[in-house]
Structure 1
């Protein structure tokens, strides 16, 4: 009996011992994994007290400085945040700030060599050149701001959607690569630009945790107080030392500006994140994550449903409400829907109404548009500025001879008739102090003809949209439900980044400008979406008015080719998802 009991207790003791050893080993393993992850998360180095300067090369160079002081009095240039109408003709050089030696102060000599940086990372180089190394400083006697990690963001072309998107992407990718979160960062905008239409994006995406460097100059520089009493856009949020008027920051990150962005047209940069084993993210440079970041900030989601019976999954009711600002488009749409089945003879009156509404709503496009509409409604009896005889005659013949073919295209694709097609209109508006007349270049002078052609082909859910008339939220809603985006080469095509994954882009180029530009070709390649382009001829351009005529027959062929490619991609995706 004692022998059995002894064996039992021995077995039990061994079992408990083995279990204890396994548990201890598991704990050590978990601790090891945790420590490894903490070492990879650069933001945990915020606990290090000693000042230091680190360069992280992820394809783009990100500089991280610890325990530094920023001296706002060393900034030269505009305060920023003014009403742009109150600073007309303000030089851009005054808004692109200069930083004197001592703008950034640290206790250690940086170990970053200029050769390690790319020549185009100009803003990073400028900040490092302003860095002053203090000889003897007791860093532990000062209170450094630790609540959030501070990012220095430089904007150049702040009023341009394309360049704003490259700046936003660089800020996003910096946060991503350093394993930070939106909630634990604060952005200091280090430029002197006045208010702009796109400022909302910065405050919305980064939850209003943003200040301008000018706000700290405004606080400490008595010479500027009288000039900025009414400027409520320069309110400091970070604590500033009352004795020396410096910002004491525990961790400061210098974000490369947009010209050094992997998104920028001439930068062949691949993101190299050694902390992330997801090769898909590395291949597409987190483009899809960036898209979702933009949408989620506005409480929007990519609602595209490839398996929907209409094959587009659009929230059409919401989009139609968003497009109310473009009355001429809606009227044209309604009239064309009612008159399309009766032939072109019934279209004259309805299109004349469109001309009247367009005359009221789009004053900037009066030259060319009304003439184009009249020539279209009267079966092209005249030839638009005398430049397009061949194009219009061919278009008339094409319309007469190919009407049956066009009808067959639609009849064979009834499930696709409700796809949303957007033509981006470029109209004059005041955007920044150097453009007080609000002149916008590269307009389409016959955009209503293009719209009418789409309606004739049966694509009734087509619209001409002037994005400046929509809020950013409305613009986002519109784009995520767009299947084919059409527009002249310009910043509005930046929204290629937000299109559904099966969408297509048609980019139009005038003869006199930009035919070698590949800004949006790069975006379509990053998004893996279909791209087509029209390259204009000199006799279709009016350089004096900065407008271009797009031949209808060429536009029709280009659109049909794009549509068939879009349809092919839809079918492939449906087969892949087994809809």
Structure 2
């Protein structure tokens, strides 16, 4: 009897399929590697629970005889830097500038630090144009702002400046800031001076500047503050204490459960920057007075008040927040004031129907967690609570119950 031999065609087809698949996969990865990396970065920002910022110092790259040193793909330190007016280059003494190669970490927003790398040029002091110069003896931190009128993004920049001083063991009271963006004057510009001495805007320079030690700040979008999955934020209480001290607040508020300070941070229409000439904003509350009345009725001995803060100086804003036990606000950048709250405080964050609290919308829940504060949120799910011009009706009884729950958590052991 004749035995038929099994055909290897199926195996050959399968091997061909694997080869084609592998080639296609590698091709796609090569073409879209940046997009894939950006997706991975977004995942890390929301899911990574730990970040070892101290390891950045150990991941050290030095070149140009120590005139350029980068750390952990996050920030860099340059020595004997020359910055010329109307020139976006960084001039440093370097014999082998061509071999200076380094890449900084980035997300979907990109990073100006890689662009700055391309602008490093060799130049010695004696080769400078014969012009009057300004020599900066203090350590300078170079900052590129992206959203100068937004408190949340500005807070990431402030925190980053503080963080690099801690990692490099620099006295934060002995630095100055170089702002490299070309933004118009904003309502938080003066706070840069309050926190870090005089802030200089590079586009306004009239003469060459020699900086003996210049630190490129961590990109705002890459700030640990922007990694909301972290269980702990490095140096958070040190930053909190520094922030209050710089605003003249040294007496920290104690919790008195029989006389709470309950503050509503209102969102109201205002012109924050030239790109919003109409001044209309979203996530506003239509029944502010009724909420104040209801909370006062429930807590007759408490100080219950509200304000939109935008008409106050930043120092006045910080003073109010530093003396608040319960902070209530619609989701918005103003909640970045969480960094100024007392360590016993609690936060109630409100969301309208059109601004759902998705897992990635946890900026301020993360801030509260890092500070060890009590946190609660309310999400409107009733369409009839939404009113024209971005107003939301917040049910007073629901809000009062949230505050009662926070009160129980704060005062359970008192």
User: Which position in structure 1 is the counterpart of 2:403?
Assistant: 559
Distance in 2 between the 1:290 and 1:248 partners? 29
- Residues 1:128 and 1:550: Cα distance change in structure 2 (over 3 Å): same
Does residue 1:303 correspond to 2:316, yes or no? no
Q: Equivalent of 2:70, from 25, 46, 55?
A: 55
Does residue 1:161 correspond to 2:5, yes or no? no
User: Which position in structure 2 is the counterpart of 1:501?
Assistant: 343
User: Which position in structure 2 is the counterpart of 1:117?
Assistant: 105
User: Which position in structure 1 is the counterpart of 2:386?
Assistant: 542
Distance in 1 between the 2:398 and 2:175 partners? 50
- Residues 1:540 and 1:72: Cα distance change in structure 2 (over 3 Å): farther
Deviation for aligned residue 1:186: 2.5
User: Which position in structure 2 is the counterpart of 1:518?
Assistant: 362
Distance in 1 between the 2:248 and 2:181 partners? 29
Number of residue equivalences: 343
User: Which position in structure 2 is the counterpart of 1:435?
Assistant: 276
User: Which position in structure 1 is the counterpart of 2:85?
Assistant: 72
Distance in 2 between the 1:535 and 1:256 partners? 34
Secondary structure at 1:295 match in 2: helix
Deviation for aligned residue 1:453: 0.9
User: Which position in structure 2 is the counterpart of 1:253?
Assistant: 215
Deviation for aligned residue 1:54: 0.8
Does residue 1:418 correspond to 2:407, yes or no? no
Q: Equivalent of 1:485, from 323, 327, 330?
A: 327
Mapping 1:94-133, distance limit 5 Å = 102-104=89-91, 106-107=93-94, 108-109=96-97, 111-114=100-103, 117-119=105-107, 122-132=111-121
Distance in 2 between the 1:164 and 1:69 partners? 27
- Residues 1:138 and 1:465: Cα distance change in structure 2 (over 3 Å): closer
Deviation for aligned residue 1:147: 1.3
Deviation for aligned residue 1:146: 5.7
Greater strand share, 1 or 2?
2
Does residue 1:202 correspond to 2:192, yes or no? yes
Q: Equivalent of 2:292, from 451, 466, 474?
A: 451
- Residues 1:186 and 1:267: Cα distance change in structure 2 (over 3 Å): farther
User: Which position in structure 2 is the counterpart of 1:175?
Assistant: 165
Structure 1 residues without counterparts, runs of 5 or longer: 1-41, 43-47, 76-101, 220-239, 241-245, 271-282, 306-310, 313-415, 575-579
Distance in 1 between the 2:191 and 2:351 partners? 28
Distance in 2 between the 1:490 and 1:557 partners? 22
Distance in 1 between the 2:308 and 2:167 partners? 36
The alignment yields a C-alpha RMSD, in angstroms, of 2.6
Distance in 1 between the 2:110 and 2:78 partners? 17
Secondary structure at 2:329 match in 1: strand
Does residue 1:464 correspond to 2:293, yes or no? no
Distance in 1 between the 2:166 and 2:79 partners? 19
User: Which position in structure 2 is the counterpart of 1:223?
Assistant: none
Distance in 2 between the 1:514 and 1:189 partners? 35
Query: Are the counterparts in 2 of residues 121 and 257 from structure 1 also a CA contact under 8 Å?
Result: no
Q: Larger Rg: 1 or 2? A: 1
Mapping 1:176-195, distance limit 5 Å = 176-195=166-185
Deviation for aligned residue 1:50: 4.7
The Cα offsets for residues 480-514 of structure 1, whole Å up to 9 and x where unpaired, read as 11111111001111111111111110000001014
- Residues 1:206 and 1:138: Cα distance change in structure 2 (over 3 Å): closer
Mapping 1:291-440, distance limit 5 Å = 291-305=240-254, 311-312=255-256, 416-440=257-281
User: Which position in structure 1 is the counterpart of 2:27?
Assistant: none
Q: Equivalent of 1:149, from 139, 148, 151?
A: 139
Deviation for aligned residue 1:123: 2.1
Distance in 2 between the 1:301 and 1:183 partners? 16
Distance in 2 between the 1:183 and 1:515 partners? 38
Secondary structure at 1:469 match in 2: coil
Structure 2 residues without counterparts, runs of 5 or longer: 1-56, 58-62
Query: Are the counterparts in 2 of residues 428 and 439 from structure 1 also a CA contact under 8 Å?
Result: yes
Query: Are the counterparts in 2 of residues 512 and 538 from structure 1 also a CA contact under 8 Å?
Result: no
The Cα offsets for residues 245-303 of structure 1, whole Å up to 9 and x where unpaired, read as x43333221102321110115575x9xxxxxxxxxxxx541111111111111221242
Deviation for aligned residue 1:304: 2.1
Deviation for aligned residue 1:106: 4.8
Give the TM-score of the pair, scaled to structure 1: 0.55
Greater helix share, 1 or 2?
1
